[in-house]
Every structure is written in C-alpha cells, then in structure tokens.
C-alpha cells in the first residue's frame, strides 16, 4: 500500500515529502524540554542572537505550532507539482534552500532598521518564493482558498494581493507575520524565474548533467 501510494505521487510531491518530514522532525524536537535552549538558539532567526548564520537556514524548517506547520506544508504540497515541473528537482531544492536564507536575511535587515529584535521561525519565506515563482510563470492559473473553494482568482492577482498585504504589514509595523521575510521570499521568487535561471542555473548545466549521468549509471548497476 505504501509503494502504491508513493507511485501515485507526482515528482514534485515526492520531492517535498523529505522537506515535510524534516519539518515534522524539528516540530517534535520543540516538544523536548531539554532541547529548548538549542532550538531557540539555532532554529529561530534573530539578529541579536549569538548564532546568526545557521539559523538563516535551520529556521526555515522550524515551527513551534502544529497549525503553523500544517498550513505552510499544505501550501508547499499544493504548489509542489507546478514548481518542480518548472525547475526540476535539483534546481527546486537549490532555490528552496536559498530562499530560506535570503528571506531570513531580509528579515534581519528589517529588524535592524526598525529595532524590533524578535525571534522568527517558519517556512513561510521559502514558500513565498515557490508561490511567487509559480504565479509569475503561470499568471492566468486559477487558484482558490481551501476554506472558500467557490471563489477563484488568477495567480497573478493573488500574487499582487499578497505583496500588497505584506508591504502594508511591513510599513505599518504589523506583528502577525514576518512580513519582511515574506516580501523577501516573494521578490526572490519573481526575480529567479525571470532572470535567475538564465544567470545562475544555466551556468551550472554541465555539473547537473554529470550528476544525472552518474545517477543513471548507479541505478543501472543496481538493476543489473
């Protein structure tokens, strides 16, 4: 049954399964009292913390609330097939991990400017990159909110609304979300699918081809 379920998944869904599993594992670590100090130090991003670099990536996989994690992972799962079909597995993973670091860096800058040194965590910044990339490449695609499936809107309009909301939140000092991280992730996603793929990924095409050839040879040996 597990094999059947796995075989019916799209390539994108299989790719994000590992990301979801990592988020679930980190959520479990938050429930261990002896891990609290380590989790706050390395799995939350705060420019006033003694650890600055590693949390930029690790906080992308960190959620304290089950609802927060479930909401983020649902959005990632929903867009997984589209983003992997656009970028491929390797490029998607590179973009996703980079998006986590870049969105956290933008959050750092905003916190330094405003003087609000509050810890942040969650995959929202990286997921905003995924959402913005898909909406930029497929602006006419129809989207709907899970709780209001009867109302549909285009991906292009959804992206504009999200950017407007986070811009207003950042300007007005709202603290419901890390609006700076959301904006950083969204702008990175828009830039990457418009220019970044040509400037960055295509220069690494020989490396990716060598990786695929090596992987193909290894799978062939296993089959023999």
Angstrom distances, CA of residue 205 to CA of 12, 149, 165, 210: 20, 40, 37, 9
Q: How is the chain split into domains, by residue range?
A: 1-220
Report the 10 Å Cβ neighbour count for 52.
14
Position 202 scores a pLDDT of 72
**pLDDT value of residue 200:** 78
Q: CA–CA separation, 39 vs 10, rounded Å?
A: 33
Residue 144 Rama label (left phi>0; alpha psi -120 to 50; beta): beta
pLDDT 10s per residue in the chain (224 long)? 888 888 899 999 999 999 999 999 999 999 999 999 999 999 999 998 888 899 999 999 999 999 999 999 999 999 999 999 999 888 899 999 999 999 999 999 999 998 888 889 999 999 999 999 999 999 888 887 766 666 788 889 999 999 999 999 998 888 888 999 999 999 999 999 999 878 877 777 777 778 778 877 776 665 44
The one catalytic residue among 103, 120, 124, 179: 124
Quote the pTM value: 0.86
Give the model's pLDDT for residue 222: 53
CATH 1.20.1540.10 assigned to domain 1-220? The reply is yes
Residues 6+ apart with CB under 8 A from 86: 133, 134, 137, 193
The pLDDT value recorded for residue 109 is: 94
68 tagged catalytic: no
Alpha carbon distance 99, 88 (integer Å)? 16
Selected catalytic residue, list 182, 197, 212, 219: 182
**124 flagged as catalytic:** yes
């Amino acid at each position: 049954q597990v094999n059947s379920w796995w075989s019916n998944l799209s390539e994108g869904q299989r790719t994000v399964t590992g990301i979801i599993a990592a988020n679930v594992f980190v959520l479990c670590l938050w429930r261990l009292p002896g891990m609290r100090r380590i989790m706050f130090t390395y799995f939350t991003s705060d420019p006033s913390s003694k650890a600055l670099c590693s949390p930029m990536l690790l906080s992308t996989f960190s959620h304290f609330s089950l609802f927060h994690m479930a909401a983020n992972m649902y959005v990632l799962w929903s867009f997984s097939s589209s983003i992997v079909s656009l970028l491929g597995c390797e490029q998607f993973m590179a973009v996703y991990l980079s998006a986590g670091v870049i969105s956290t860096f933008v959050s750092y800058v905003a916190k330094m400017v405003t003087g609000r040194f509050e810890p942040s965590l969650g995959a929202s910044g990286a997921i905003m990159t995924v959402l913005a990339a898909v909406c930029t490449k497929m602006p006419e695609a129809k989207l709907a909110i899970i709780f209001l499936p009867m109302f549909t809107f285009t991906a292009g309009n959804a992206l504009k609304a999200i950017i407007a909301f986070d811009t207003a939140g950042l300007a007005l000092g709202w603290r419901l979300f890390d609006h700076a991280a959301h904006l950083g992730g969204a702008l990175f996603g828009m830039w990457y699918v418009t220019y970044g793929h040509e400037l960055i990924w295509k220069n690494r095409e020989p490396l990716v081809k060598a990786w695929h050839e090596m992987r193909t040879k290894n799978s062939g040996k296993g089959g023999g």
